[in-house]
Structure 1
């Protein structure tokens, strides 16, 4: 069962680097999220308010905490142990979508920030002028958190838990599957996302500007894997087009209102979706970190010359 706790202002709720076996919902008060807390390069990353979840990624993927959360005021939290996550969701099925939305919004935010960093990195690779870096850092002061010794040791996330979750889904197929022929457009760039998909057989390509001169293939989806979940969770326009690339491709369609029922009948699907979201967030964070470090190293090299 979950445990309600009261924590005084200034107390650490979770600490960066610790192994995480619980996650939290903030019920009352506010909390601050920090990288490198109480160190010379401490940076405040975010403010948490009542209703928000935190610490869930460490539970979903059994991964060390990636930040420190400190009570900004006296707070009340609901603490849920990893082993009690299924019981918690059984008692509060509406929380399944809420937790997924938290992860989805973090992915979207990190994606947006990574695009800006990637542009700056591409400029760095082309140019030799220090001024380009200075302008970038002026806009992106938070990037200093990725230059710390801790972040320099960041490893590319393993997909092993994601593979295990996918294997569990593959062993428990559903009859709610649609079969598509080659060339079928599953969803279009610009459409508002209303559902997500699990690919069971075949292949799906995801493209930017599909059918146009600047068409770009972003990724290939292979069984068993989720796709289209960010559009569904954020109810925003799709940022790409998904196209079937093998006849006989089998796809399961999942709507937000299906999640509670799925948890009762096919909990392994919820587990896979959660792990997929967590893995995506860790992966984009890793790429973001690498790009920031490349920019920083290039700037340092220029200044030495």
Structure 2
């Protein structure tokens, strides 16, 4: 063998080795895949109703109102390799996204999981509030302390679980109202917070400090709106996080609290966040969620308006997209489907 041929052979072997080694090197990407889909009108894997209502008359519900999920591979400490990423890029069922899309920088996987759990909890509460608002059932709101930041003015004076009743002399009934009142103060201003703890009211005097960006006055508490409902709703979905099932939870609650089947016996799936006022918001992973829904047997998919463009581009065959702007509009669409009408709000181009 000539020296030139030997050099080419060695070079080719080295290139192949480097390519093989490189294909197994971890890369900062995450693979998103279709996840489980569950019927909010049915039971979980323990045989318990996903949505259980106590203290109020409920009605039989048939058909499916499935919420959809996305599973992922990768993330800090468990990155996928280049070969897996390349394979995902050519798989229509998989989306390969930058790692920071799922795991923001400076946040651990535990922190992300905890945030997803909090979002699921909040989405369930918002879903119940939206359903009861739709049904004109009166509800009230409490402003509760979720956590207190160490080293901030409230540390040692306010505790998680405290109910905030007033800021100075102004009574408050929502987190938004507290935020608005605090924004009117300057860093270093005194503020008196009236709270309820263990059924007793007390006043706490604080001095505002600067937010991490130095632009806003804060006292170092994380607040959440806690709704007081006239009856009990339990939503049991197991180890699933995030806010995207809100719309489907609301629909299930409305269906169980009203006579007749909202689905008309059809297999409906969907996704979307929900506000207590019933506004439907966008979610991530729309492509994978539609695939999961279609594989499960869904023929109609309720789609947030802001996800319509991506949904139309990736719609599986046999799945009809119905645009859901609000809980009210989604219910009207399902009622129209039951009546055999076809003039439903649709995603443009679907």
- TM-score, with normalisation over the residues of structure 2? 0.24
